[in-house]
Chains A and B, each alone.
Chain A
């Protein structure tokens, strides 16, 4: 049987379904790092005379109700939307790993308490939970990030707790005890690195969800305040002009959708790669 699995798969060019999302994510990377490369227009420069111009000519994606270039706002908005998502995900991963590790290594009563708490929190829809947190701590970009992170922590914590359970009972942790290594060194040297395995995949998919949640909260006016270009906030402003200027809403909406779809595709792809491989 081993002869079967050892046969290396023939080298393949990744299919279009993988290349396209990766290309789009690369483009987003450029938009976040150097939006000037993609558009010369100023996302905040209003030109009332050119308000609600349809796509074409000088404004490829048209202008909004204040005459701002939609392309420029979508491109510059990437920085807001994606940095909210990335920051929230980073925070959630950190919190989730720490809490999951703590739960997995705690005495039984504490482990049970934490686990039940994760379970209860996971039953609530993420956006609702984030909204609840924002309602308590108030709106603003920083608070939105914190709210989304809190809402996502249980996802990571539950996985890490389960991993910790496996690793702490593993032969190599037991061996490390027989070497006389202190508990903290064993946790840092063996447990932590070995529980992180599923994180890259989870975080990639989680990033998509975090971006949606961020845009959702911004749409409700909880995030970056106008005139800042943020996809959710743009949608919110655009909904009053939907009947006369579809482009003002469609393009930021499309940006959110494509980002999340591409992240999910990439995440699933990673997942398949990692699951196919024995660690």
Chain B
């Protein structure tokens, strides 16, 4: 029996009077992958950072016992921690664009770790950098080594970060949401890469909000909530037979094929009127649009019927958001046209479109960006309403009630609200003008899974009640499978496959759709 690389008992981290980690015990054995899963604010990231002495200024870290590499970490000086980081443990963070120095090349980033920990003699450093880039699957390492973060894609940046984390051949890699900002196919590659490191004997501590990601690589999982571990055990056992209510809720809230037709928050069946296929609401014909001669959307056609949800899936850069802007007529197509209720919608002066504007409303990914920062919730929700001042207030309160917000919310500023509440405000505002079409551009991708479940349920309720048609854009195949009737699969601006959501996701025909479906990490199928 080897001694654990890391062992901490009753870890507590506080910032001023607030304690965000309240007694977490955890250990990582050599070659093991331990995952911490939790929603935002659960304290999972702070735990990970505290384990590397990076809890941050103003923090108070306490523990009953704390051993790193067999030494007592409670007595560590800042210099001890520095020696440990990079050498003994590598850290991979979520957003590589922020974590990488924009002025330094990929090679310089990795070479720094080699230099600090004196891994190889100076003369061999450049060669070692290329070996590392190759090892993490960066194509053309010699070319990429000389590039800076803004020249690299999200996936490549994350690989560079992983390369620098493993440069000093650490015994442990701590990865905090390493794939959250990535497309699913890239995510699958990064997860494979992490699994390879694990196979090579490196221990992994993986922090994630995504249970499916954890299922793919972890051996053991800790579920955190409000700074405490609520459940802990082998990953198969926790996912297959969760013992704690919170874990069960978390698992049930994940939208997928299986959750179709049920309410995510309660798991009960949900009925909704079938879409009216004879009532065409929005129709796009051969839409094309380019930015600087680079085609963003090419030859895309679709029809949206009353009460129908059209899912649009694709990876970043596939043209999904451009398609949303074209559907909203915020952008005029270079070719093709959009019709609303069989009347002209695109390709006309804004003045002619204005009287119809209220029929098509937008719900965006980041509601805070879509709110004027000076306005209160009440004023925001009132903005699209065309009512006499006297009736407005009442209608605003109605709308807030409809989306499950107390009337008191009207006087508050959105930045005082949580992410889920903000998205509810955005939905209330979009419902105000009684639209026929809601264009939802990644409406839940910034939300925690339990909040996402609430918002998806709310959108489904709204659709059932008003018969609103929806264009639902998402990178998350599970979400689209849960909500959509039909789906468009986009790649490089083109629709590569379309059809009934069950057909497309269960029996994909196009190779790209197959790759996309295969790349989605699945719950309950832990990698061997």
Contact = CB atoms under 8 A, between A and B. Distances in A.
A172 interface: yes
Given A7-B15, A180-B357, A180-B358, A174 B56 contact: no
B350 A170 contact: no
A3 B362 contact: no
A228 to B, nearest CB: 43
Interface stretch (B1-9, B151-159, B365-373): B365-373
Interface string B374-393: 10000000011000000000
Interface in A166-210: 170-172, 174-183, 190, 193-194
Given A3-B18, A179-B357, A183-B350, 20 more contacts: A1-B56, A3-B16, A3-B20, A4-B15, A4-B56, A7-B15, A7-B58, A171-B371, A172-B372, A172-B373, A178-B328, A178-B360, A180-B355, A180-B356, A180-B357, A180-B384, A181-B383, A182-B354, A193-B374, A194-B373
Given A4-B57, A178-B360, A171 B370 contact: yes
Contacts of A190: 372
A279 interface: yes
Contacts of A171: 364, 366, 369-371
A171 B328 CA distance: 13
Nearest to B354: A180
A190 to B, nearest CB: 5
Contacts of A178: 328, 330, 357, 360-362, 384
A171 B59 CA distance: 35
Contacts of A170: 369
Nearest to B357: A180
Contacts of A193: 374
Contacts of B374: 193-194
Given A4-B15, A7-B58, A179-B433, A174 B20 contact: no
A178 B328 CA distance: 7
A95 to B, nearest CB: 24
Q: Which range holds the interface residue count of chain B?
A: 20 to 34
A174 B426 CA distance: 13
Interface in B417-462: 429, 433
Contacts of A179: 357-358, 383-384, 433
A177 B369 contact: no
Contacts of A4: 15, 56-59
Nearest to B59: A4
Nearest to B15: A3
A263 to B, nearest CB: 27
B369 A172 contact: yes
Interface of B: 15-16, 18, 20, 56-59, 328, 330, 350, 353-358, 360-362, 364, 366, 369-374, 383-384, 429, 433
9 contacts: A3-B15, A3-B18, A3-B20, A4-B58, A172-B373, A174-B370, A177-B357, A178-B360, A178-B362
Contacts of A194: 372-374
A38 B516 CA distance: 80
B223 to A, nearest CB: 21
Contacts of B362: 174-175, 178
A171 B330 CA distance: 11
Per CB-CB distance, the 10 closest pairs between chain A and chain B, nearest first, are A180-B357, A171-B369, A171-B370, A179-B384, A3-B15, A180-B354, A172-B372, A175-B370, A7-B16, A3-B18
Nearest to B360: A178
Nearest to A175: B370
A177 B330 contact: yes
A174 B373 contact: no
B419 to A, nearest CB: 12
A178 B353 CA distance: 10
Question: Taking each of A1, A170, A193, which has the highest tally of chain B beta carbons within 10 Å of its own beta carbon?
Answer: A1
Nearest to B359: A180
Contacts of B366: 171
A170 B383 CA distance: 16
Contacts of B15: 3-4, 7
Contacts of A174: 330, 362, 370
A103 B362 CA distance: 28
A181 B20 CA distance: 45
Nearest to B429: A175
Contacts of A180: 353-358, 384
A4 B18 CA distance: 9
A196 B328 CA distance: 29
A196 to B, nearest CB: 10
Contacts of B330: 174, 177-178
Contacts of B354: 180, 182
Contacts of B370: 171-172, 174-175
Contacts of B373: 172, 194, 279
B115 to A, nearest CB: 29
A193 B373 CA distance: 10
A175 B361 CA distance: 8
A80 B438 CA distance: 60
A197 B360 CA distance: 32
A30 to B, nearest CB: 34
A239 to B, nearest CB: 50
B340 to A, nearest CB: 13
Contacts of B18: 3
Contacts of A7: 15-16, 58
Nearest to A174: B330
Nearest to B415: A278
A147 to B, nearest CB: 35
Contacts of A279: 373
Contacts of A1: 56
Interface string A151-175: 0000000000000000000111011
